[in-house]
Amino acid sequence: MTGSTQTRTGGRPATERTRLDARVIAEAAERLASPSPVVAGILELLGGNAPVRAIAGRVGQSPEISAHVLRLANSALFGEPVDTLDRAIVRLGERNLRALLMAASTYRLLESALPLYGLARLALLTHSTEVAQASQTVAARLDPSAAGQAYLGGLVHDLGKAILSDVVRPGPAPLAGTADERRAFGTDHARVGTWIARRWALPEEMCVAIEHHHDTAAPEGPVARAVWLADMLVHASRGGAEAMTRLPAAAAACGLPEEALEGLLTGGGAPEEPARPAVLTDRELQVLRLLATGAAAKQAALQLGCSVSTVHNHLHHVYRKLNVTGQAQALLMAREMGWV
């Protein structure tokens, strides 16, 4: 690589701050954002027009991915809740499912510390989650049919930062924005994230949203506009002076009136996640919550005033309804979904 040095520190390439060629970025993206075996299997089924039941079966092999699928399918924008992976996958559709798989696969990158940008662990994940939720809310006002893609686009809009931070050695001061990135490396995190999104064959509307989320003018399309405005909203809510100054004109460019902007800034109208699974009965949920505290089946039976066999019967119903294979997966999904 011209004009740079590359060493290995703890198994990670450390590149001096200089222009990165496409090969270095591509290698890092392939290494860091590659699908797991389960995700690769799901993508293969999606590409082969496999039946929904086969796709749901493969999704069910990962409690984490199952939880993500059910959480998004049961979000407020879709209305009535669904109770099986088959129905959740049909509701989301291939485009949203493909994007959700990428978000789930790159979750570990988003939660890491990014010293290149001066971000502590979980800082990027927190920001990305806030932008995803704001994107969904904005899209619901611009074009409700785009809300699902806007949410997922917001979730991965800054993925390129995680890639660049992994391959570039931090300098004396954190990078402050895309202009700094372009001067230092000849590219920026939005372009890197877009390259990854296209490698995953995400919907073009989502790729455009990632690519243009730092543009000075409002991009075209409801998904891109929702992510663009949501990113600005989150920065403004965190006290960003530049974002706050730009926000009124940006909202007007997206067709949002001033009262709608005030509601978005104060969190009014934000979608809420379900507090409990609609598919489980009250007693099944009680059993699950007791087990989540570390109670054994015998202890749960004593607290509920029933027999141990009744507790086990409730658990078997839970496993079937959640499409999981045992207690560990059921509890993991319940924690991911915020049920326990």
At 111-136, the pLDDT tens digits run 999 999 999 999 999 999 999 989 98
Q: Do 180 and 317 belong to one domain?
A: no
For the record, the structure tokens of 121 come out as: 């662990």
For the record, the structure tokens of 217 come out as: 């003018």
Q: Which amino acid is at 317?
A: H
**Can you tell me the distance from the alpha carbon of 264 to that of 86, in angstroms, rounded to the nearest whole number?**
33
pLDDT at 8 over 50: no
Go through the chain and tell me how many residues it has. Answer: 340
The verdict on residue 1 lying in a domain is no
pLDDT at 279 over 80: no
**Can you tell me the distance from the alpha carbon of 21 to that of 1, in angstroms, rounded to the nearest whole number?**
7
Domain residue limits at 77: 34-105
DSSP, collapsed to helix, strand or coil, labels residue 157 as coil
The verdict on residue 5 lying in a domain is no
Q: Which CATH number belongs to the domain containing residue 261 in this structure?
A: 1.10.3210.10
Buried b (16+ CB within 10 A) or exposed e, 211-244: bbbbeeebbebbbbbbbbbbbbbbbbbeeeeebb
**Can you tell me the distance from the alpha carbon of 65 to that of 101, in angstroms, rounded to the nearest whole number?**
7
Q: Where among 83, 105, 127 does a domain terminate?
A: 105
Q: How confident is residue 80, by pLDDT bands cut at 50, 70 and 90?
A: low
pLDDT on residue 84: 83
Domain tally, the chain? 3
Q: How confident is residue 299, by pLDDT bands cut at 50, 70 and 90?
A: confident
Q: Do 247 and 291 belong to one domain?
A: no
Tokens 């489980």 locate to: 280
Q: Do 304 and 199 belong to one domain?
A: no
Helix or strand holding residue 13 (H, E): strand 12-15
Of 35, 13, 36, which Cα lies nearest the Cα of 25? Answer: 13
Q: Which DSSP string corresponds to 188-233?
A: -HHHHHHHHHHHTT--HHHHHHHHTTT-SSPPSSHHHHHHHHHHHH
Q: Do 160 and 288 belong to one domain?
A: no
pLDDT on residue 336: 66
The verdict on residue 300 lying in a domain is yes
**Can you tell me the distance from the alpha carbon of 236 to that of 231, in angstroms, rounded to the nearest whole number?**
9
Give this prediction's pTM. Answer: 0.73
pLDDT at 231 over 80: yes
The verdict on residue 2 lying in a domain is no
The verdict on residue 8 lying in a domain is no
Q: Which CATH number belongs to the domain containing residue 303 in this structure?
A: 1.10.10.10
pLDDT at 1 over 70: no
How many other CB atoms are found less than 10 A from the CB of residue 70?
Answer: 28
The verdict on residue 263 lying in a domain is yes
Q: Do 239 and 142 belong to one domain?
A: yes
Q: What is the pLDDT of the chain when averaged over all its residues?
A: 84
Contact 151, 72 (CB under 8 A): yes
Contact 288, 330 (CB under 8 A): yes
pLDDT at 277 over 80: no
The verdict on residue 190 lying in a domain is yes
Q: Do 120 and 94 belong to one domain?
A: no
The average pLDDT across 96-104 equals: 91
Q: Where among 105, 130, 150 does a domain terminate?
A: 105
